[in-house]
Amino acid sequence: MLEYLYPIRTYLVIAGTIDKPNPMTADWVVPLSHTPALLGVSIAHKRYTKKLIDEQKDFVVAVPTIELLKDVWIAGTVSGARKDKKDLMSVTFTESKSVKAPSIKECAANLECKVVQDVVTGDHTFYVGEIVDVSYGDAFAGGKPDIGDYRFILHVDGASFTTTGNEIVKP
């Protein structure tokens, strides 16, 4: 029944370390609070990412643009429990500023989170992360998303995605 909420923006949740990074594609990412800055991610119990977040208590939410869709698909269809996704993907992992989980250089922004709460929600665990640091590139240089030059990813269904356009609509 959750299909009625789509299209939904698609992100990468990165767990692990710079030496052993594990990126996972995630639609279920939600802003929760300005002060403190809190961000929630919902991770199925069977994901390798869950094991890594439980061990290390941090993660990074990276914001990909449509050029990264092939890598986003790999991160969302291959489990780090079986394969090292770093070898399959063409992105560059970089040290984050304040957490052990690495960032992705090619992403428009990287939000570094420390887990402050985790709640079992059915077949997923909802991790509440405090955003302790952020890095971003030109897509956010003006203090807001540059939707003219950067196209963000939205998930429609299965292997179908769409992207943002540059039309601004005012209420």
**Residues touching ligand FMN, count (CB under 6 A):** 20
Q: How far is the CB of 144 from ligand FMN (least distance, A)?
A: 25
For 37-51, letters b (16+ CB in 10 Å) and e give ebbbbbbeeebbbbb
Q: What is the dihedral of CA 95, 16, 87, 105, to 10 degrees?
A: -30
Nearer to ligand FMN (CB atom), residue 151 or residue 155: 155
Per-residue string for binding with ligand FMN, 21-50, x by CB under 6 A? -x-xxxxx-------------xxx--xxx-
Nearer to ligand FMN (CB atom), residue 26 or residue 39: 26
Q: What is the dihedral of CA 2, 4, 8, 10, to 10 degrees?
A: 40
Nearer to ligand FMN (CB atom), residue 98 or residue 162: 162
Q: How far apart are CA 73 and CA 78, in angstroms?
A: 8
By the criterion CB under 6 A, which residues form the site for ligand FMN? 10, 22, 24-28, 42-44, 47-49, 76-81, 155
